[in-house]
Structure 1
Amino acid sequence: MADSAHLAVKLTPGASADRIDGWDVDDGGRPVLRVRVRARPVEGEANAALLKFLAKTLGVSKSAVTLHRGGQSRLKRVLVEGLDDDAVRAKITAL
């Protein structure tokens, strides 16, 4: 059975392009992935765009990426099924 990874994401909606800005750290010193999406934060559009973009970027199906926490916040917790934490980090670092 495949692993799953929890990914902390700081989302910036309304950007000029969908892109990953790299890694940052939160107030507790934990790694946070900075992501920008074109979608606006209206009726969940930015969250949906984030999940779709991460699925494409990580090479997994859209259904394998779900919002675990932070639906109304810029800081989100995303669950990625089928990849462990090391595999997610390696794919993002390779970009």
Structure 2
Amino acid sequence: MWYDVKENEVELSIQARPGSSRNEIVGVFDDSLKVKVKAPAVEGAANKELVKFLAKRFRVPKSEVAIVAGATAKRKRVRLPRSPELMEWLEEMRE
């Protein structure tokens, strides 16, 4: 499963695509959520952009979004706090 809902947080398996023309969630492929980010994969810029994008998209503080695995890889594990926007979005993705 590409996500894991816990008591107060959600972990997402993400396949990041740095250097894209815009930030966007593409969809679920190969048991990971594919996310395009504008920033290049240089000196952590893509990771910072990914955290900023996910925080804004799901309306959570950037400080509470953490890359818990795969910081230097394209496949990452990202932890976010549960939010109404995130839970609603996950429900839509299941349909």
TM range (shorter): 0.7 to 0.9
CA RMSD of aligned residues (A): 2.0
State the shift of 1:45 in Å. Answer: 0.3
The equivalent of 2:17 in structure 1 is: 12
State the distance in 1 between where 2:83 and 2:52 align: 16
Q: Which runs of 5+ in 2 are unaligned?
A: 1-6
State the distance in 2 between where 1:75 and 1:58 align: 20
The TM-score, its normalising length taken from structure 2, stands at 0.80
Identity %: 34
The equivalent of 2:26 in structure 1 is: 21
Number of corresponding residues: 85
State the distance in 2 between where 1:90 and 1:40 align: 31
State the shift of 1:15 in Å. Answer: 0.2
Q: Which amino acid aligns with 1:33?
A: L
Greater RCO structure (CA 8 Å; 6+ sep): 1
The equivalent of 2:62 in structure 1 is: 62
State the shift of 1:49 in Å. Answer: 0.3
The equivalent of 1:52 in structure 2 is: 52
The TM-score, its normalising length taken from structure 1, stands at 0.80
| Alignment CA distance shift 1:16-1:34 (3 Å) | same
Q: Which runs of 5+ in 1 are unaligned?
A: 26-30
The equivalent of 1:90 in structure 2 is: 91
State the distance in 1 between where 2:48 and 2:76 align: 12
State the distance in 2 between where 1:6 and 1:72 align: 18
